[in-house]
């Protein structure tokens, strides 16, 4: 009798597990008229016609790891918004932004509970727009782009589910991009710190002089191609994607092969540490040890060096980033998206616009604890950015970046981690001499196309 219960219980248990498994898989699109990303949403949030209605009610607003350092600023912005629009309440959530942050965000989106207003990066913006989780601002708030620098606004476009490029996010702050270098090592290698390279291949030509002079004691750059692609290619004006975004084209441009050859030559000449080919070494650390000529390109890195390696900071020079054939810099700003599944889209969009307006952005940029640059024309015109005082590396970087913000665009090519790994792997093989530059690029491109086709 007792024995006979066991299979029965097991069967129940298995059935339960299977049902649960089935639940885990369920999803699919609902059959209601208004859906976004498989969620039922307010009809007003999708389709054509601007959002109308009063700004009131509760919304949630999510940032990533900002509460600790900037709690005062955000609470101030929220209080000002609630004062301007009586009857609104903004609940601020600050995600710690750890390794599983994106998974949590995706789970929220899948569960139709994406925060109403959410701070996202470029990769997340692409994925959420493609799957319909963000409000199409072109339709729902057609004048939303007015305050922003035109070059930046025009390039903050992502493809929606139908492949149409739409404005689904508001550009927020960006970090900027500069060249940083160790002036002492440059001089040792016979290079003039006042004349940093202006093209990507020019950088490699200079780096080869470093390789000749260093005798292996210091290096020009780290070898891992992941640190340089696709930014270098894009700056060189190489077309990375086809116009429809459905295939890669970088291997068809002879300049990409020239770039791989330059990397290979520099690697073999000892201009890059041999063991950095596939390693996770951080150039900021190696630069901080005074063993790397060219440092990271993020101005915020200067703060890291200033705090951790003051002697190296004193030797650090800053120059305009190589504009090369592209003629301007590209960068991925932080974005503010508004959720298509919001129950209170009018208020969500209003808060997103309030947060990113010129006044609020300028106020934050003036915080001495940050090196960030606003995305709105009016705040960039402020004397704070127009007449920077001082000549330490920090001030230099601020001057340079402020002067290029009006032309900088947001169309930085964002490869998926899978694509980046696949391309880097092939280039590593070329750098080791196991493949020609052309073959490596051809293989990289076909792997990339395969990944696009498979969706991973």
Partner 1 sequence: MAQHTVDQAPVPAPLGAGAPRPGSVPKPPGRLRRALRAVTPGPTADAGGAALYRRWWLPWLWMLPAIAGTTVFGVFPFLNTILVSFTDAKPLGGAYNLVGLDNYTRMLGDADFWLATRNSVLYALIVVPLMVLLPLLLAVLVEKNLPGIGFFRSAFYTPVLASSVVVGLSWQWLLSDQGLVNTWLEKAHLIRGAIPFLSDSWLILLSAMGLTLWKGLGWYMIFYLAALGNVPRELHEAAAVDGAGAVRRFWHVTVPGVRQSMMLVGTLTGIGSLRVFTEIYMLGGATGGPGGADRTLPFYIRDVGLDPLTGNAGYGAAVSVALFALTLGLTLLAQRLTKEDEA
Residues near partner 1, by CB under 8 A: 1-2, 5, 9, 13, 16-18, 20-22, 24-25, 27-29, 37-39, 100, 102-103, 105-106, 109-110, 123-124, 126-128, 130-131, 133, 224, 226, 273-275, 277-280, 416-418, 421-422, 424-426, 428-429, 431-432, 434, 454-456
Nearer to partner 1, 256 or 356 (CB): 256
Residue closer to partner 1, measured from CB, 36 or 408: 36
Count Cβ atoms within 10 A of the Cβ of residue 374 and give its class: 0-12 exposed, 13-18 middle, 19 or more buried: buried
Q: List Cβ neighbours of 307 (8 Å cut-off, separation of 6 or more).
A: none
Q: Give dist(CA 341, CA 291) in Å, integer.
A: 50
Nearer to partner 1, 38 or 76 (CB): 38
Nearest-approach distance from CB 201 to partner 1, in angstroms: 23
Closest to partner 1 by CB, 2 or 68 = 2
Distance in Å, CB of 129 to partner 1, minimum: 10
For residue 152, give the nearest of 125, 174, 127, 180 by alpha carbon: 174
- Minimum gap (Å) between residue 120 Cβ and partner 1: 10
Torsion of CA 350, 356, 358, 361, to 10 degrees: 140
Q: What are phi and psi of 119, to 5 degrees?
A: -85, 120
Q: How far is the CB of 419 from partner 1 (least distance, A)?
A: 9
Name which of 55 and 263 has its Cβ closer to partner 1. Answer: 263
Q: Which residues contact 408 (CB under 8 A, 6 or more apart)?
A: 149, 151, 152, 174, 176, 177, 328, 329, 330, 331
Q: What is the DSSP letter of 321?
A: P
Please count the CA atoms within 13 angstroms of the CA of 112 that sit on its side-chain side. Answer: 14
**DSSP β-ladder status, 117-120 and 57-64:** parallel
* Comparison of 11 and 80: residue with beta carbon closer to partner 1: 11
Burial 400-429 (b: 16+ CB within 10 A, else e): bbbebbeebbbbbbbbbeebbebbbbbbbb
| CA–CA dist 239, 229 (Å, integer) | 13
* Token pair of 298 as six digits: 């993020």
Q: How far is the CB of 242 from partner 1 (least distance, A)?
A: 18
Residue nearer to partner 1 on the CB measure, 102 or 357: 102
* Closest CB 332 distance from partner 1, rounded Å: 14
Cβ-based burial of 188 (10 A; exposed 0-12, middle 13-18, buried ≥19): middle
The structure tokens 């391309």 sit at 423
Rounded to 10°, the helix 437-454/417-431 angle is: 160
CB of 273 to partner 1, least distance (A): 7
Minimum CB separation of residue 65 from partner 1 in Å reads 17
CB of 427 to partner 1, least distance (A): 9
- Judged by CB, which is closer to partner 1: 52, or 280? 280
State which residue, 111 or 190, has the beta carbon closest to partner 1. 111
């Amino acid at each position: 009798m007792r024995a006979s219960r066991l299979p029965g219980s097991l069967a129940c248990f298995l059935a339960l597990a299977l049902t649960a498994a089935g639940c885990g898989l369920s999803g699919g699109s609902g059959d209601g008229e208004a859906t976004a990303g498989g969620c039922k949403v307010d009809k007003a949030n999708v389709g054509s016609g601007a959002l109308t209605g009063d700004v009131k009610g509760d919304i949630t607003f999510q940032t990533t790891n900002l509460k600790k350092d900037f709690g005062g600023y955000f609470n101030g912005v929220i209080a000002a918004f609630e004062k301007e629009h009586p009857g609104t309440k903004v609940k601020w959530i600050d995600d710690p932004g750890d390794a599983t942050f994106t998974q949590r965000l995706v789970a929220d989106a899948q569960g139709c509970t994406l925060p109403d207003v959410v701070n996202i990066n470029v990769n997340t913006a692409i994925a959420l727009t493609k799957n319909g989780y963000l409000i199409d601002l072109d339709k729902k708030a057609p004048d939303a782009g007015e305050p922003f620098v035109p070059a930046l606004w025009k390039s903050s476009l992502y493809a929606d589910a139908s492949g149409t490029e739409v404005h689904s996010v508001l550009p927020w702050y960006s970090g900027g991009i500069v060249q940083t270098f160790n002036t002492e090592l440059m001089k040792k290698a016979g290079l003039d710190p006042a004349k940093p390279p202006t093209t990507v291949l020019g950088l490699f030509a200079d780096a080869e002089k470093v390789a000749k002079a260093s005798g292996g004691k210091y290096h020009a750059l780290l070898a891992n191609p992941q640190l340089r692609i696709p930014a270098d290619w894009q700056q060189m004006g190489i077309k990375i994607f086809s116009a429809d975004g459905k295939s890669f084209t970088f291997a068809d441009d002879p300049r990409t092969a020239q770039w791989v050859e330059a990397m290979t030559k520099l690697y073999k000449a000892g201009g890059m540490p041999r063991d950095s080919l596939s390693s996770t070494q951080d150039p900021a650390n190696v630069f901080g040890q005074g063993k790397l000529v060219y440092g990271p390109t993020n101005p915020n890195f200067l703060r890291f060096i200033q705090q951790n390696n003051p002697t190296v900071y004193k030797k650090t020079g800053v120059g305009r980033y190589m504009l090369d054939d592209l003629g301007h810099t590209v960068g991925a700003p932080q974005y503010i998206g508004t959720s298509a599944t919001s129950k209170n889209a009018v208020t969500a969009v209003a808060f997103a616009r309030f947060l990113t307006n010129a006044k609020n952005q300028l106020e934050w940029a003036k915080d001495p604890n940050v090196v960030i640059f606003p995305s709105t024309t009016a705040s960039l015109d402020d004397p704070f950015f127009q007449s920077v005082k001082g000549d330490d590396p920090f001030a230099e970087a601020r001057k340079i970046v402020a002067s290029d913000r009006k032309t900088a665009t947001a169309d930085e090519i964002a490869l998926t981690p899978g694509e980046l790994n696949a391309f880097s792997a092939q280039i590593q093989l070329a750098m080791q001499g196991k493949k020609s530059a052309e073959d490596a690029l051809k293989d990289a491109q076909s792997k990339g196309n395969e990944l696009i086709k498979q969706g991973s």
